[in-house]
Structure 1
Amino acid sequence: MSPPPVTVSPERVLTAATTIVRKKGLPALSCRAVADELGCSVAPIYRIYASMDALTEATLTHIFSHLVAYMTKPYVPSALRSAGIGIVLFARDEPNFYRALFLERHGVAKMVLDLLGRLEAAAATTPGIGDVTAERRSVLVLDLWLYTHGLASMASASLVANLDEAWVAEKLQRVGAVLIGATLATAEVRPMALVDPSPRKARRRPK
């Protein structure tokens, strides 16, 4: 008797693609790898996702939702610091996911801008930050992101021994206090331009 046909749905394809990235990293993701994971040919994969780019984007969007779940967990009373803690812990727990989002591909500006927008929303509710100008708050959020991204990158590479929630919270509180104080005390702040290699354009934050 022939084995029952494999039912391939968008959800199963996305789950398989996410599993591959989690285990082996973004470079291992391909339609053939997904087909092998599901035990089918590549034909149904291409019926659901017309191109490898479409599959990759869907997978990264799904992975980003995992990051958002970490960022929105209330580790501490401050939503902004909780988001930073979540970013670092996500990089520690899911190193291949973090590298896939921010370190292993071109065109990461879209994800970074989405993340910065979420951090700015959290900053707007933070005492002492929420009442400053939008431009100054954006510069502050970007400065905090630069430090947090560096720490998260180290976490994704397992370069920090005994990295736990309390240690991350203390680091972000101490460095955050310094950056916040410096930004609020500076007479003039200069925004940074983020370059997206795909359209070859620079987007300034803030505009």
Structure 2
Amino acid sequence: MHRRRTAIAVSAALVAAPVLTACGETEHPGAAAVVGGERITVAQLEGRVKEVRAAQRAATPDDTQYQQTIARTSGLARDTLHSLVLDRVLDRAARDAGVSVSRRDVEQMRTNLEQQAGGARALQSIWLEQYGVAPRRIDDNLRTEVQAQKLSAALGADMSTTDGKATFWKAMAQASKELNIDLNPRYGTWDVQKSSRVDAKTPWVKEATVAAAPQPA
């Protein structure tokens, strides 16, 4: 198995103070979260979850296995929402640092990952199974990863060191404060010190593992 460490494969507890507070349905009806004054609606979130469930169904034709997959990913809605929020925080931090990502950057990363995984279908399977990312969202997900890597480089943050991680997450915490994020409590709580829910699965803050193609006997 080939292991690829991202630029920000980090431990959870680092810097910053909590900046995300809960919002009630009376304040933001129909909103799963409000980030920088922009709503992530419950309908948008449910749409993303349906995409993943449809992909899981297609990849798991056996009913028993599919039910096991649903049980294993029972927190999909909350995890997906937190990923959507984190993506917006990263966008703000990157913009503050003057970082941009081109389509070519994303294409290059995808090509490299597909080569490591053993093809496009293999990459789709890995991203769906390990990270809950539907095939149609892989490019969006990889853009986020490239953005995180470029941000750490712009900050001079060596993510293999404690100081480097602290520098990166300080920038993320500042971006969170600027965005004045509100989260609907039905989807859980936000811990900025851990930069995610305790059980969230967010590819760009974890070590991404890509299985190499099986070697012929």
TM more than 0.5 = no
> TM class, shorter-chain normalised?
under 0.3
Highest RCO, 1 vs 2 (Cα 8 Å, sep ≥ 6): 2
User: Could you say which structure has the larger radius of gyration?
Assistant: 1
* TM-score of the aligned structures, taking structure 1 as reference length: 0.26
* TM-score of the aligned structures, taking structure 2 as reference length: 0.25
Q: Which of the two has greater helix per residue?
A: 1
